[in-house]
Amino acid sequence: MKNIYCGILNQGIPVTGIENVSALFDLQDREYIHQLPWDFKGQKPEVSFAIAHDKNGIYLKYWVLERYFRAFYKNINDPVYKDSCVEAFLSFNNDAGYYNLEFNGAGVVLGGYGTDKFNRVEIPRVILSRIKTFSKVNPQDLVSMLHRWELTIFIPFEVFVNHQLTGLSGLACRANFYKCGDDLPEPHFLTWAPVEHPYPEFHLPGFFGTILFL
């Protein structure tokens, strides 16, 4: 099982503003979303991420290099997994339920909670609107024809509506991280922790790895 050790964001030094957090993450070690459990014909995206936490919530940054980029959906809880999309699935306290937080390259979020793919409840839009994002999309490279984009995310604890979190130090949660693009010209489904399943599916908590919060 894969593990991540998640430290406190810039411990002892105040950081304000999501853009400053984004720059800080550029100095951190990264994890890679490079498992490709299912057949894929095309150019495999290059995807990495970093994670940190503090007394207010969880911070993530994704770095993506891919052939096609799309950010069509504009509203919270739209089907952003059809766009260029990165995702974090998180389960606290060894609960059967888990949160899915999915973001397109523009930072638009889809969020829910449940025990499997079919028994999910959307997190209210007013709650998800408290997530802060900073997106940076570079122009398409005319030589490689690739798009490079970054997304930095702050998820306050109140987003985890079925848990009363006030801090994470010393705790652990189960998780997996993904990259997809269902409606791109080259649909793809990449995972951080390995998944064994006959067809593309992310809602498989039995294959989650572990985040250990320092």
Span 128-142, pLDDT tens digits: 999 999 999 999 998
pLDDT (0 to 100) of residue 165 = 97
- Count how many Cα atoms sit within 13 Å of the Cα of residue 99 in the half-sphere of its side chain: 22
Q: What is the mean pLDDT of residues 149-178?
A: 97
Interval 1-26: pLDDT, tens: 899 999 999 866 667 799 999 999 99
Identity of residue 136: K
Asked whether residue 181 carries a pLDDT value surpassing 80, the answer given is: yes
State if pTM tops 0.95.
yes
Average confidence (pLDDT) over 185-211 = 97
**pLDDT (average), residues 158-186:** 97
**Closest to 88 (Cα-Cα) out of 43, 54, 57:** 57
Neighbours of 183 (CB within 10 A): 16
pLDDT category at 214 given cuts 50, 70, 90 is: very high
What pLDDT score was predicted for residue 48? 98
Amino acid at 157: F
The span from the CA of 197 to the CA of 165, in Å, is 32
Mean pLDDT, rounded, of the chain: 96
Cα distance between residue 38 and residue 195, in whole Å: 9
Domains defined along the chain, listed by start: 3-213 (2.60.40.1190)
- Weakest mean pLDDT among 10-14, 71-75, 150-154, 184-188: 10-14
Q: What is the pLDDT of residue 93?
A: 93
| Residue 29 burial by Cβ neighbours in a 10 Å radius (0-12, 13-18, 19+) | exposed
At 207 the three-state DSSP class reads helix
Query: What's the pLDDT at 10?
Result: 83
Alpha-carbon separation of residue 206 from 148, 159, 164, 176 (angstroms): 32, 23, 24, 10
The three-state secondary structure class of 84 is: coil
Tell me, what's the pLDDT at 178?
A: 98
